[in-house]
Each structure stands twice: as C-alpha cells, then as structure tokens.
Structure 1
Amino acid sequence: MSETPGWSSPDQPQNQQPGQQPQYGYNAPPPPAQPTIKPGVIPLRPLTLGEIIDGAITTMRRHPKLIIGAAAVVAAITEIVGLLVLLPFLSDISTTFAPNATPTRDELISTAVGGLVSSLVGIMLQVIGTAFLSGFITVIAGRAVLGNQVTFAQAWEEFKPRLLPLLGATVLTGLLIAAAPVVLGLLGVVSGSVEAFFLALFVGFLIAGWLGVLFSLVTPALVLERCGVGTAFGRSRKLVSGAWWRTFGILLVAALIGLVISWIIGLPFGALGLATTGFSDDPAATTSIGYLVIITLGAIIASTIVLPFSSAVNVLVYVDRRMRSEGMDIELQRAAGHGGL
C-alpha cells in the first residue's frame, strides 16, 4: 500500500524537493473556498457528535466483511480461550459456592488461584485482541474517511508494522491508568483510616479517568501517523488538551451506546443460560458448563458489534480533533481531490 503522508503530524518533516511547492503540508497555500465535501463516511469539516456516531456505524456497514469478520474472529478467540482456561477450576468453584458449604483452607486457596489465573489470562487476551482489532480498524476507518476501498491484504500490510508498537502502547496505557488508583489506594491502606482509603481510591479513579481520556487517541496517532510510542502519547495529549470535556463526552456517549447494545444482546442469552440451570437460586448453578457456554456465545456476538463501533468512534474523534486544531480538513479535502491519501 502506498504511503499516506497526509496523516503525518505538523511536526513531522515533509518529503519535498528544494524549491518545490508543497502539496500536502501545512505550509501550502489555502485552497479556494468551496462547499464541504463528503467523499467517505464523514463530511470533511469539524464534526458534530451525531456525525461521529453515524460515521462509525457507516464505516461498519461499508466494510462488513473486514470489520465484522475480524471482530468476530478476535472475540471468539478471546472468549473461548478464556472459557477453556476457566473449565479446569469449575469443580473447585462449584464446591466453594455450594449451599451450606464449609470449604477448607486448601479449597479456598485452590479457588482463589483458579480465579486469579483465569482472570490474568482473560486480561492478557483482551489486551492483545483489543490492540489488534483497534489498530486494524483504525486503518480501515482512516481509508473510509475518504471513501477509499481497502482489502484485507492491504489493511494488514499497512497495519502489520504497527502491531508490536501498538501492543506496547496498549499495555503502557493500561499501566498508567491503573497506577493512580493502586498507588493511592495503598497509601490509604497505610494511613489506617477507612475514610482516607476510600477518599484516596476515589481520587485515584478520577486521575485514572482523566488519563484515560487524555491518552485515548494514542492508537489512531500511532497507526495513522506511523510514529513511535512516546510520540503517539504526546500527540494524543496535544490533541485532547483544551478539549478534554468534549472528548470525554463523545467517548462516554459511545461507551453508553456500547453498554446498551451489549445489554440487549446479552439479555436473551442470560435468560437462556438461566433456563439451563432451571432458574436455580444456587450460585454454583452459574458455573455449569451449559450456562457458561451460552453466556460466552452472547459475549462473542456483543463484542463483535461493540468493539468495532468503539474503535471507529475513536478514530473519528482523532480526525475531528485534527480538523479542529490543525486544519486537517483542508489536508483531507486536497487528498480527496487527488484520489485519496
């Protein structure tokens, strides 16, 4: 796939011969006034919330095989492997949560270890799967902005060199976000005061939320601008700064839409899963293989829809911030007039 210099940040050097008039840089003379054009899934001007949401949905509709197919594979692998890891510990969990059970110390330890192992494996799979899917969809959404079609081979070829840096950036983002509540929570525990603990934990989660929004555009910056991990964090901070609340609001609305979709999809699967247990009040009934298989199937279907939607919204928020703060709409309009980025 050809290079896409139009996504480079204003700070990146442009490949230009001495004395040559720049064609895609920010030093180029402004184009003559023209009506807003929409060659792809969004109009090439600063976006409204509705246009971002609609653009994300349209991106999925125009590339269903690529986006839904990749999401289904990733969701199936992460959910099924997570279930397979949990299966060996089902017996211990059922025994521990059985009515009137008096588990021994060894049984409690075994259950705790099983829960910890399955949780860690699940988190690791989610990190890898989310990093791959978000980066892959970023490439597709970046092309969809200009209405350009892309095959799986082309998208993979463009995304492949960014996979490992993106995985590292995803892990680093998670560690940065988790550090605040963990560190402040430990300080609260050391203080010996319950009130101080909950206050420290609350402040820690506020800081984590602030950092999560501040670095929410790391993935599209890293993939589309093809920069390093550190540079991607700096780009996200720069783009979000001054528009934190607006970015937070858009991402919150997208997250709420995702929760509603997950709830609607999960509701019948949850009811069907309970039916396999005879609607028993026994907590151990929810550890039956039949119940877990049905719940896992529902989670796969929900993730297949929600994860691509969230990733596409994230890319369009990035594009919107660049159009608002860096005049990227002019760059994109030039690119559209020259056959794409």
Structure 2
Amino acid sequence: MSETPGWSSPDQQPNQPQQPPQPPPGYYAPPPPGPQPTIKPGVIPLRPLGVGEIVDGAVTTMRKYPVLLLGAAAVVAAITQIAGLLVQLPFLDDLTSVAKLDPNTMTQQEAMDQLARGVTGFFTGTALSLLLLLVGTVFLSGFITVVVGHAVLGRPVTFSQAWEEFKPRLLPLLGATLLSGLVVTIGVILCILPGIYVGVLFSLIGPALVLERCGVGTAFTRSRVLVNGAWWRTFGILVLAAVISWVISWIISLPFGLLGAASNGFSAEPTAALSVGSLVLSTIGAIIASTITLPFSSAVNVLIYVDRRMRAEGMDIELQRAAGHGGL
C-alpha cells in the first residue's frame, strides 16, 4: 500500500541514517541573503506560507482534484441532507397543525398533540441529519487530508489509493473528533472563551492523526504542540476560512430560498418555509453549497497543519527531499 511520504513527526523516526543537524522545534532561522528559490512541486511552495497562500492552496487543490474532492463532498452532502429531509417530510402536516386549526374538525388539544408529534419528528430528522453529517464530515476530512498530502508534493492520487491510506485511520479519527467535540462543548458550557480556545488548540488533530498515523492521544498532543505559540494566527485563518465558506454558502443558497418563497407566493406565514417545495429547494441549495465549502474548509485545515510543521519543525526540508529536490 502506498502511503503519503514525509509526514512522520520528529519522534517517529528511529533508526534513520545520519542526517545533518536540524534546528530545534520553534527555531526560526533567518534566510540567507539574496533572493531564495521557490520550490513548488504541488499546490503550495515548500516554505512557511502566508495566509493568502494557504487559501489559494486550498482552492488550487480543489481545482486540481475536482473529481476526488467535489465528487466525495457531493455524495456526503447528498446523503446527509436527503436523509434528514426524508425523515422530516412525514411530520410537516403535524408541525403546521396549529396554523391550520379548524374548530369544526379539530380541537385545540388535538392540534397541540399533532404539533408535538411534528416537532418531535422534525428534530428527529435534524438529529439524524447531524449524526450523518458528523460521520460524513469525518470521512471527508480524513479523505481530503490524504489527497492534500499528495497535492503538496505534486503527486497524483486516485480514489482507491486515498481510501486505502485513510481507511485504517477512519475509526481513530471518528473517536478523536467525538472526544475533541466533547471537550470543546464542555468548554463552551463553562464559558464560551475556553471552548473557542480549546477548539483552536485541537484543530489540527485530524491532519496529525491521518498523516502521521499516530494514536488519538498523540494526535491531541501534536495539535497542541503545533498550535502553541501561534494560537491567534491559527484562529484568524480558521475564522477567515469560515467566513469565506459562509459567504459562498449564502450566495449559493439565496436563489433556492427565493425560489422556495416564490413557490409559496411570498407568503408571510411562518409555516410557508415548511412546505415540501421550500424544503426540497433548500436541501438542493445546501447540497450544492456543502459540495464546495466542505472540501475548502478541510483543505485549509490541512494546509495550516503543513504550515505549522514547516515553521516549527523545519518540515519544508523533509518535504523538499520527499518531492525529489534533495532539500535544496
């Protein structure tokens, strides 16, 4: 099985041939005088990255591997959105029963009972959709991590190759995602700021676990070590990626929302948004938006990890060797 080379952490490289001394983690050596050559075998230059280069690298990866990234994202988005919609549809009449209350055929108590069933079914569908979204997002983020690992080195990769590399990491990544989500949730409950801090601190767990092929506990440690000293920069890039994703999602979803409103005659009734036509159109918009935003966000996350390793551990030298440039 072919694996993405060059990603082992510093403590995962025993019995290696003698190498020239490497700078310690966190060491920032000044570049030699004069213009420096840019080595770019793949989607990013193999040196510490600027914010724009991280965003551009994510977009370039999507353009270079559209079938792999957009195709996988479309399947995940379609499954999660359609499953939630199918569970919710049977309960729409119950959910709108109060608005349609007819004293001649239904008492207020009967309408409230139907409303309770509708709310229960609606939230059941939402919960199912969120659960499927969690599993789908974990799969997609890990799969994209492998693809980006190849893209950084400019190496082609097929779906089967990426899946074979990622498959052993799927369950550990799911466990790490649930655990980190629990930790972040506890932090948010205690106070919002600790939740945000912990969320950023552990934001690189996925790339570390998949590319370094380490355990869950080690992935938490690796993320904390890599983000340490660069929390604000990591936070800023993640927020930027989230804003870009939100804008893209809003632009794509807006026409479908307008079409849904038009199908109901632009009714001001609150229940108009719960019509079958409106929900179907919003689901289509959500699928299209997620197909673009999920790969983008995941690719940005991986490239933040790559940038942190190049900055803190001199990983750019190892990547240049792996790309066949002899570390020049």
Structure 1 pair 150/284, CA: closer, same or farther in 2 (3 Å)? same
Aligned equivalents of 1:14 and 1:23: distance in 2? Answer: 15
Aligned-pair CA distance for 1:222 = 0.6
* AA partner of residue 271 (structure 1): L
Q: By how many angstroms is 1:302 displaced?
A: 0.2
Q: 1:299 to 1:26 in 2, by over 3 A?
A: same
2:134 to 107, 127, 133: 127
1:278 corresponds to: 265
Report the AA paired with residue 65 of structure 2: H
Counterpart of 1:240 in structure 2 is: 227
Structure 1 residue 115: deviation in Å?
3.2
The Cα shift of 1:133 comes to 0.5
Amino acid at match of 2:18: Q
Moved more, 55-64 or 103-112: 103-112
Whether 1:39 aligns to 2:36 is no
Q: Which runs of 5+ in 2 are unaligned?
A: none
State which drifts further: 261-270 or 83-92.
Answer: 83-92
Deviates more, 1:104-113 or 1:224-233: 104-113
Residue 214 of structure 1 corresponds to 201
**TM-fit CA distance, 1:89:** 1.5
Residue 307 in structure 1 maps to residue 294 in structure 2: yes
Gaps of 5+ in 1: 185-203
* Worse-matched range after superposition: 308-317 or 107-116: 107-116
Q: Match of 2:320, SS?
A: helix
Tell me the residue number matched to 1:168.
Answer: 175
Aligned twin of 2:80: 78
Distance 1:26 1:226, change over 3 A: farther
SS at match of 2:176: helix
Mean Cα displacement is larger for which, 207-216 or 71-80? Answer: 207-216
Q: Among the aligned pairs, what percent are the same residue?
A: 66
Change beyond 3 A, Cα 1:3–1:308: closer
Q: How far apart in 1 are the matches of 2:100 and 2:289?
A: 30
Q: Which residue of 2 aligns with 1:195?
A: none
- Check whether the contact 2:85–2:283 (CA below 8 A) recurs between aligned residues: yes
Contact kept, 8 Å, 1:98 with 1:284, in 2: the verdict is no
Change (3 A) 1:23 1:312: farther
Is residue 2:2 matched to residue 1:21?
Answer: no
1:18-167 equivalences under 5 Å are 20-22=17-19, 35-98=37-100, 102=108, 105-167=112-174
Cα distance in structure 1, aligned partners of 2:96 and 2:229:
51
Amino acid at match of 2:6: G
RMSD: 2.4
Q: How much has 1:105 moved relative to structure 2?
A: 4.9
Shift of 1:251: 0.6
Gap change, CA 1:11 and 1:99, over 3 Å in 2: farther
Alignment partner, residue 258 of structure 1: 245
Q: TM-score, normalised by structure 1?
A: 0.86
Q: In the alignment, what sits opposite 1:2?
A: 2
State the AA in 1 paired with 2:57: G
Give the aligned length.
314
Q: How far 1:106 sits from its partner (Å)?
A: 2.8
One-letter amino acid matched to 1:59 = T
In structure 2, what is the Cα distance between the partners aligned to 1:89 and 1:25?
63
Q: Normalised by the size of structure 2, how large is the TM-score? A: 0.89
* Residues 249-282 of structure 1: per-residue CA shift (max 9 Å, x gap): 0011111000110011011011011111111111
Conserved? CA contact 1:6–1:24, under 8 Å: no
Contact 2:226–2:308 (Cα < 8 Å) also in 1? yes
